[in-house]
Each structure stands twice: as C-alpha cells, then as structure tokens.
Amino acid sequence: MNKIRIGVISPSEIAFRRFMPAILNHDSFEYVGVAYPTSDEWDNASVSQLDLEINKAKDFMKEYGGNIYEGYKSVISDPSIDAIYLPLPPALHYKWAKLALENNKHVFLEKPSTTNEKDTLELVELANSKSLALHENYMFQYHNQIDLLKELIDTKEVGETRLIRTNFGFPKRLSNDFRYNKDLGGGALLDCGGYPLRLMSKLMEHDLEVIASKLVYNENDIDLFGSVMLTNSDVIGQVSFGMDNAYKCDIEVWGSNGTIYTGRVFTAPEGFETSIVINKNNQESTISVRGDDTFYKSIDKFYKCITDDNIRELEYKELLTQIRLVEEVRKEGK
C-alpha cells in the first residue's frame, strides 16, 4: 500500500510539538503540508492574528518541510492528499471535518469529536457511507498503563470491583484560552471532562450510563468544573474534572480485597515511567510501567482505522458512546 498523504489544518502548538514528530516516525504516512486560515475562514480575525498564523505555518515548513496552503479549503480540496489532521478548537471540528469527509479524506480529530451528539452522529454516518476513517485523539488510552489497569481489573487482582474513581483538572489558563470561549466550544466538560469519561468507557465497558452529574458555570455560561456518577449495573464510577482547579490526574480502583492507584493517568509524556500501586491486606506493592509514545500509537490506530473495516467500525461506536455520555452529563448537570 502506498503511503497515506496527510495535511494539517492549522499550525497549532499541538500539531507542531506533538503531531509532527510522531507522524514523521510512522512509515505509513507522508506529511504533505500545513494550511493557515484565510480571512473568510476565520470570523472576526484581525490582520495581526492572520499574520501570526502565516508565520507559524512558515515555522512548520522550516522545521518539517512540506507545503504551505493558503486556506483550509485548499488543503482539503487537494486531490493528492488522503487524510487530514484537524487540531482546531472543538466548535470548529464539525464544519471542517464534514468538508474533509465530503472531499473523501480520512480525518484525524483532536478531542472532542464535536460539541454535541447530533453533529458527531452526522460525521460518523458520512464517514461510514464513504468507508472513511474518523478518529478521535484521546491518546492517553493507548498507554501501557491503561492496558495493565484493565488486566488487573479483569483478573480481579483486588477482588470484585466496587468503585472506580478518577479525577482530571488543572489550574486556570490565560483569559484568551479557547476553553473560556463558548463560541469555540469551551468548558471543562468538553475539555478535561472527556478524558475520565473515555477512561470509564474503556474500563467499565458495556451499558455504561450517567445516573447523576453536576456542572458549575461561571458568569459567561462556561462550565468550570463538575462531577459525574456512572454505572454499568455492576460497578459504580465517579468522575471529577475542572479547569480552574489544583492539578489532579489519577485513578483509584476500590475492590472487595484491596485498591489500585496510579497518577499521571491522562498526561504521561513520551518515555515517562509510571507506577501502579496495589494495596491488599495492608501490604503495598508497586508495578513500574515503562514509558510510551501515546501520540504515535494514536496515529497508528488511525492507520488501522483506514486499513481495517472492523477497527474503523469499532471506532465509530466509540465516538458515539463518548459523545452520548457527554450529552447525558450536560443534561443531568444543569
């Protein structure tokens, strides 16, 4: 199979710092170029903002080579490109992912897929009708520690699982951060809240539903933090998240015979060795988990979605489960 030629929509920081080194290391992809927005593609953008995007695109070319495209539409319509990486703010995902799919491009989306269930469902249906990959980049789930956690739960290392509790939050960002902009899909639920919800789906699996939630909003109708209770009829899950909080990034599994705990469950950087602590009968043991490159592994999952029908269809289902849980949290939490 020929290499999959991929273009980048927006010279964003995560694209420059994380995506590009990973994609260049993957033998099945060929990086083609990056697009900056035209004035009609970025509403109310100032000349200085557009100039900054152009300069960032030039930095891409200096560092990684490839072409510079004037406008997102130009890279999407390029017939030589097979796939698009889309790291825009959440509220812009639907528009540009839909256009890319309509132009027969596979789409690698930064999380969340969209801001609501209706839009995600439409994208999934469009991708499915064209046998195109639509991959949401919750890359933390590909870390070795997640596989080990799942194995410890499934093999009943601490007995029957009673409760899984996970937290993810970070300190206040700059006021111009898109997370505080409702029009761009801001809010803690769509940002840090999506991580623990995705982890609960992976660990608790089938028939997962939200039974209670609470979101706390600021004066601009942006949810700053929240908590959720979930169940699959056998296990209770508790999720807390927030973007104006002290940093927290952990998970605890409470079983009938002990507990399992680990930190850095969502944000372990490339090569970072994590630890899983098991406590049974007041005896504590620690398992060291080797470092990993979760961005590379997420890109590899995207490749498998492109080349394997079954994996692609499972990804569609995961996308729909994730946005369904987000909608349930939003509905219950108001």
For residue 74, give the nearest of 30, 134, 33 by alpha carbon: 33
| Residue from 111, 130, 280, 297 carrying the catalytic annotation | 111
Residue 104 Ramachandran class (φ > 0 left, ψ -120 to 50 alpha, else beta)? left
Strands 236-242 and 223-231 come out as antiparallel
Residue 147, H or E segment: helix 144-154
> Measured between alpha carbons, how far is 202 from 301 in angstroms, rounded to an integer?
15
> Measured between alpha carbons, how far is 218 from 243 in angstroms, rounded to an integer?
12
Distance of CA 249 to the CA centre of its chain: 15
> Measured between alpha carbons, how far is 334 from 325 in angstroms, rounded to an integer?
14
Whether 73 is catalytic: no
Residue 291 Ramachandran class (φ > 0 left, ψ -120 to 50 alpha, else beta)? beta
Contacts made by residues 44-53, CB under 8 angstroms, sequence distance 24+: 53/10, 53/11
Q: Which residues are annotated as catalytic?
A: 111
